[in-house]
Amino acid sequence: MTKRLLTMRVMSASTPEPDARARLGLAAVEAFASRGFHGTTTRDISTAAGMSPAALYVHHRSKEELLFELSRVGHQRVLDVIRAAVARSDDPVEQLGDLVEDFVRDHAVAHTGARVINYELSALSEEHLAEILAIRHEFDVVVREVIDRGVATGAFTTPDTRMTALAVLSLGIDVARWYRDGGRWTPDEVAVHYRLLALRMVGVAGS
């Protein structure tokens, strides 16, 4: 993935070239992914962004606040992705398939940023973590409602819709942990296969 694409996906930058705030965000993503949040200094981030050592504090009160911003923007954008996938159809089978495919593809394409915002949550303050967990709860609500509708219509069979929803989301999130550019599979190939797996989990015949 190019740096510009990663910036657009994590920071949702709308300008052709990253501004100072977006450059800091991009540098933070790369640093957190390679060194971990606690192993990264504010100087590391500012220097990687091509800025003065104290530049981060011009735009953020702390390193933790920068991580929170990355996490908030990234989680909200993914929530929008899965809501849009569900809105494309009234059929629970298509809804779940599209949701999983888009969710997984996104986690493969933006794997570096997704890995940071999903696996560095423990570094957030209690207040910031609560806000991110509220957004993640909405992920669960969207998926569970689709599965509930499928069960109600007889399209799905599962003894526990809540656990199944958690399993579907966990599979997709974990893609960010192992996926690497230039590997055996493309994001589209992974997304299509995970769609198949998710539909099999809820007993869709022929999946």
> Per residue in 51-72, pLDDT tens?
877 777 778 788 899 999 999 9
Lowest mean pLDDT among 36-45, 76-85, 111-120, 159-168: 36-45
Give pLDDT, residue 144.
97
> What integer is the mean pLDDT of 191-201?
96
What is 3-59's CATH topology?
Arc Repressor Mutant, subunit A (1.10.10)
pLDDT score, position 205 = 72
Pick the more confident residue, 3 or 132.
132
In this prediction, residue 14 has a pLDDT band, given cuts at 50, 70 and 90, of very low
Helices (H), the chain: 3-11, 20-35, 42-48, 56-59, 63-87, 92-109, 111-119, 126-153, 161-178, 187-201
Q: Where in the chain is the domain with CATH 1.10.357.10?
A: 63-201
Task: Calculate mean pLDDT across residues 175-185.
Answer: 94
Higher pLDDT, 50 or 29: 29
Cα–Cα distance between 138 and 165 in angstroms, integer? Answer: 12
Lowest mean pLDDT among 6-10, 78-82, 147-151: 6-10
Q: What letter would DSSP give residue 15? A: S
Contact between residue 46 and residue 56 where contact means Cβ atoms under 8 Å apart: yes
Q: How far apart are CA 78 and CA 70, in angstroms?
A: 12
In a 10 Å sphere around its CB, with 0-12 CB exposed, 13-18 middle and 19+ buried, how is residue 95 labelled?
A: buried
Domain with CATH 1.10.10 in the chain: 3-59
CATH architecture of 63-201: Orthogonal Bundle (1.10)
| pLDDT exceeds cutoff 90 at 166 | yes
For residues 183 and 1, the answer to whether their CB atoms sit within 8 Å is: no
Range name among 15-24, 136-145, 158-167 with the lowest pLDDT average = 15-24
